[in-house]
Amino acid sequence: MKILVVNSGSSSIKYQLLDMDGEKVLCKGLAERIGIPGSRIVHKKSGEKFIFEKPMPNHEEALKYVLELLKDEKVGAIKDYTEIDAVGHRVVHGGEKFVGSVLIDEEVINAIEEFSYLAPLHNPPNLMGIKAIMKLLPEVPNVGVFDTAFHAKMPEKAFLYAIPYEYYEKYKVRRYGFHGTSHRYVSRRAAEILGLDYSKAKIITVHLGNGASIAAVKNGKSVDTSMGFTPLEGLVMGTRSGDLDPSIVTFLMEKEGLTSEEVYTLLNKKSGVYGLTKQFSSDMRDIEDKALENDPVCRLVLDIYEYRIAKYIGAYAAAMNGVDAIVFTAGVGENSPITREEICENYLGYLGIKIDKEKNNIKGEERIISTQDSKVSVLVVPTNEELMIARDTKEIVEKGLKQLEY
Ligand code: ADP
């Protein structure tokens, strides 16, 4: 079975064509600058990279071109579109409705549209991708895999904010959480690697990319996560503040005469590591390099970054009344031995956690990095959201399901 995975953003589309017999990636790529001059596709097959520059005024044109590439004799992997058995789409927000992946029909499209008020920057472009594929490949089934779905069944005590209840009733203001596909993939994989029964395990997943979040996964379900109503809450991120006293928002609006849009931009795009380093960088590689050269600002920022992560790990160990494994993933989690080591060594000794420095000295590899006698296993598991989307899509289509329960 061949599955196309589509992750459609506002001006870019990531795609991967997978052969599910053996779960092999046949080819993949990124269409960028859609609707902007200079649009192009960076396409990869068997480790070789090809760049195609072509005007792509909208998502439909971009996907039409992507499909042509998939069929291309040299860079493609299929002879005919009938070889694509299904398309799996990443969708950011599924509100409270979607607690698992779903077969896309008119009703699902309407619901994704309805939840656009919760993710105005993401759901509309996700839908553009879905609608374009439906038009270009009308016979092929489409599946939606939501970033929020893994967290959608967390308990009320974890998802309700202590503000007047009417705002939950009126606008569904609650914690949703994001990166769900990644947390689900790496927690499952960690249980497999450790030989743990996923349905009985307590796992903390630490996804550290530009956006970053932590989840408490108990008995195979997400019971809490650090991102909230929007992806702004929780950890210190590349350009997002993470947790802060909400009074700072009104204080700054008054003092600096900021509009709600300006304060939104300030907290989402100018804060975090970028803001703390006085706009030096939002890239953790730069911060690490400077911290290792004893730059006082970068050393402090790395401390703040790690401290917030450690506090959340402590909180989630409490939330689950214990923890069997901690999993690091995404850009920083997979590639930064120093961040992993400092979090574990400086803060998590009380949990009986011990890191094997040699084993920890890896980038982008799946591995247990704790010592044999560590009371909690610590792992690095490179995330693979595309594979998870493709697996869900395959299962839904093969079993003729309407919705997949996690
Ligand atoms: P996203 O998908 O959220 O855009 P990624 O998962 O690609 O983000 O992660 C990007 C982050 O990972 C950046 O801050 C980048 O600096 C960091 N990163 C990548 N490689 C390394 C490394 N070797 N050491 C430290 N950080 C790294």
What CATH number should be reported for the domain holding residue 120? 3.30.420.40
In this prediction, residue 405 has a pLDDT band, given cuts at 50, 70 and 90, of confident
Same domain for 213 and 139: no
Same domain for 201 and 134: no
pLDDT at 320 exceeding the cut of 90: yes
Quote the CA–CA distance of 219 and 87 in Å, as a whole number.
30
Q: pTM score, two decimals?
A: 0.96
Give the model's pLDDT for residue 292. 96
Same domain for 210 and 134: no
Quote the CA–CA distance of 202 and 302 in Å, as a whole number.
27
Same domain for 328 and 223: yes
Residue-wise pLDDT for 348-364, tens only, equals 999 999 999 999 999 99
CA of 394 to the centre of ligand 1 (A): 30
CA of 332 to the centre of ligand 1 (A): 5
Query: Atom 22 of ligand 1 has which residue's CA nearest to it?
Result: 335
Q: What b-and-e string marks burial along 262-285, b requiring 16 or more CB atoms within 10 Å of the CB?
A: ebeebbbeebbbbbbbeebbbebe
Which range of residues forms the domain containing residue 222?
A: 197-385
Query: Atom 27 of ligand 1 has which residue's CA nearest to it?
Result: 332
Closest ligand 1 atom to the C-alpha of 282? Answer: 14
Residue 205 Cβ < 6 Å to ligand 1 = no
- The residues annotated with a catalytic role in the active site are 147
Same domain for 37 and 125: yes
Residue 285 Cβ < 6 Å to ligand 1 = yes
Residue 231 Cβ < 6 Å to ligand 1 = no
Same domain for 229 and 133: no
| Under 8 Å between Cβ of 260 and 252 | no
Number of domains the chain contains: 2
Give the model's pLDDT for residue 38. 95
In this prediction, residue 224 has a pLDDT band, given cuts at 50, 70 and 90, of very high
CA of 210 to the centre of ligand 1 (A): 6
Residue 147 Cβ < 6 Å to ligand 1 = no
Same domain for 236 and 115: no
Q: Is 58 annotated as a binding residue?
A: no
Instruction: Find the mean pLDDT for residues 222-246.
Output: 97
Give the model's pLDDT for residue 321. 98
- Phi and psi at 377, nearest 5°, equal -80, 140
Residue-wise pLDDT for 129-159, tens only, equals 999 999 999 999 999 999 999 999 999 999 9
Residue 209 Cβ < 6 Å to ligand 1 = yes
Q: Is 207 annotated as a binding residue?
A: yes
Give the model's pLDDT for residue 41. 98
Residue-wise pLDDT for 365-397, tens only, equals 999 999 999 999 999 999 999 999 999 999 999
Give the model's pLDDT for residue 172. 97
Query: Atom 7 of ligand 1 has which residue's CA nearest to it?
Result: 331
Residue 397 forms part of a structural domain:
no
Quote the CA–CA distance of 122 and 111 in Å, as a whole number.
14
- What residue type is 297 in one-letter code? V
Give the model's pLDDT for residue 175. 98
